[in-house]
Amino acid sequence: MLLLWELGGRAVTEYRLFLPSIIEVMGAGVQLLFSGDVARHFLVTLERFLTGYLIAAALGASLGVALGYFRLLHDLLGTVVELLRPMPSVAIIPVAILMLGIGDAMIVAVTVYASVWPILINTVDGVRHIEGALVDTGRTFGLNRRRILWQIILPAASPYIVTGLRIALSIALILVTTAEMVAGSKGLGFFILDQERSMNSSNMYAGVLIVAVLGYALNRLFVAIEARVMRWQHGMLNREAV
């Protein structure tokens, strides 16, 4: 397939602008890497991503546990949540620009907003699905509220929380790059768009490639960490499958 691209790129020279050959893209990519241009953008994007994602994780998980555990809270906020859900998170970008201008704060804010949703919803789901017996066991053993939370609720709900975190991973990357495209002056999203505007297609494709690789790497990292932390669940799942 790559061969086709390469051949196509070389053969159809007038379309060179649109679909440069692989070699050119690679060449541009390597050049960029070494020149340090892209590295700057890359780090900016990565930093924003991590900040946004981690804040969302903490916020989403804690809010999710609260909503899942306290019936009252869940009922009160339920309607509001249901009303906000159908709105695509990206629509929040203009509001964020209005309130925070264009810059890191705005980008991190929208990332947090968008990423919180899957984490929140899945955490609530997980907490609500906890068998009553588990919490009662904790009570029987005289555990206080805080210990029940840490030692029973969180571990039991963790598979669901992890699902939410996984979904949020892709969402966060999408939001960071989008925000950078809509209103940014640095970052990979901005870079790719900028290269397109300057008709620098090889660089643009190289940028796309870098983002794809980043996304892929983050995913693998997540899977690896998850396998470690959730070893107990994997064992359970494997046994069921037998």
Partner 1 sequence: MRPEKLSGIGFLFIALGLWEFAARKELVNPLLVPPLSRIVAVFWDLFSTGEMPLQIAVSMKRAALGYGLAGAVFISLGIVMGLSRPIHRALEVIVEMLRPVPPPVVIPVALLFFGLEDEMKVFVIFFSCAWPILLNTIDGVRRVDPVLLNTARTFRLRRLKTIWQVVLPAASPQIMTGLRVSLPIMLILVVISEMVGSTDGIGYFILDSQRRFRVAQMYAGMAALAILGYTLNQFFNLLHRRLLSWHWGMMRRNLE
* Site residues (vs partner 1, CB under 8 A): 1, 17-18, 72, 74-80, 83-95, 97-99, 170, 173-174, 177-178, 181-182, 188-189, 192-193, 195-196, 201, 204-205, 207-208, 211-213, 215-216, 219
- Report the C-alpha gap between 20 and 6 in whole angstroms: 8
Structure-block tokens of residue 207: 């940028």
> How far is the first Cα of the chain from the last one, in angstroms, to the nearest whole number?
38
Give the single-character DSSP code of 103.
S
What is the C-alpha separation between 128 and 108, in angstroms, rounded? 30
User: For tokens 């939001």, what's the residue?
Assistant: 175
Closest approach, Cβ 185 to partner 1, in A, equals 15
| Complex with partner 1: residue 110 or 153, whichever CB lies closer | 110
Q: Which is nearer to partner 1, 162 or 169 (CB)?
A: 169
Q: In the complex with partner 1, which residue's Cβ is closer, 78 or 103?
A: 78
Q: Distance between CA atoms of 82 and 61, rounded to whole angstroms?
A: 18
Q: Name the minimum Å distance from CB 94 to partner 1.
A: 4
What's the closest the beta carbon of residue 23 comes to partner 1, in angstroms? 17
Give the span between the Cα atoms of 57 and 100, in whole angstroms.
22
Identity of the residue, 115 or 158, whose beta carbon is nearer to partner 1 in the bound complex? 115
Q: Which is nearer to partner 1, 152 or 171 (CB)?
A: 171
CB of 139 to partner 1, least distance (A): 24
Which are the contacts of 11, defined by CB distance < 8 A and separation ≥ 6? none
Choose between 123 and 178: whose C-beta lies nearer to partner 1: 178
Residue 4 Cβ vs partner 1, minimum distance, rounded to whole Å: 10
Residues 138 and 148: their CA atoms lie apart, in Å, by: 6
As measured in angstroms, the least distance from the Cβ of 2 to partner 1 is 9
Smallest gap from Cβ 16 to partner 1, in A, equals: 12
- Residue 61 or 179: the one with the smaller Cβ distance to partner 1 is 179
Q: Are 97 and 158 in contact (CB under 8 A)?
A: no
| Amino acid at the residue 104 | D
In three-state secondary structure terms, 162 is: helix
CA 221 to chain centre: 12
Residue 204 and residue 192 in contact, taking contact as beta carbons nearer than 8 Å = yes
